[in-house]
Chain A
Amino acid sequence: DVVMTQSPLSLPVTLGQPASISCRSSQSLVYSDGNTYLNWYQQRPGQSPRRLIYKVSDRDSGVPDRFGGSGSGTDFTLRISRVEAEDVGVYYCMQGTHWPPTFGGGTKVEIK
Chain B
Amino acid sequence: EVQLVESGGGLVQPGGSLRLSCAASGFTFSSFWMYWVRQAPEKGLAWVSRIDSAGSTINYADSVKGRFTISRDNAKNTLFLEMNSLTAEDSAVYYCARATLGTLDVWGQGTTVTVSS
Interface residues of A (CB under 8 A from B): 31, 35, 37, 39, 41, 47-51, 54-55, 60, 92, 94, 96-97, 100-106
Contact = CB atoms under 8 A, between A and B. Distances in A.
B83 to A, nearest CB: 19
Contacts of A37: 101-103
Contacts of B95: 48-49
A48 B110 contact: yes
B45 A48 contact: no
B49 to A, nearest CB: 10
Contact of B105 (A31, A51, A92): A51
Contacts, number: 53
Main secondary structure of the interface of A (DSSP, over half): loop
Interface of B: 44-47, 59, 61, 95, 101-110
Nearest to A50: B107
Main secondary structure of the interface of B (DSSP, over half): strand
Contact of B45 (A31, A35, A47, A103): A103
A50 B108 CA distance: 9
A44 to B, nearest CB: 12
A39 B103 contact: yes
A94 B39 CA distance: 14
A41 B107 CA distance: 11
A103 B46 contact: yes
B107 A96 contact: no
Q: Which of B44, B106, B108, B110 is the most central at the interface, judged by chain A CB atoms within 10 Å of its CB?
A: B44
B107 A54 contact: no
26 contacts: A37-B101, A37-B102, A37-B103, A39-B104, A48-B107, A48-B108, A48-B110, A49-B107, A51-B103, A51-B104, A51-B105, A54-B103, A54-B105, A55-B102, A60-B105, A92-B44, A92-B45, A94-B45, A94-B104, A96-B102, A96-B104, A100-B59, A103-B44, A103-B46, A104-B44, A106-B45
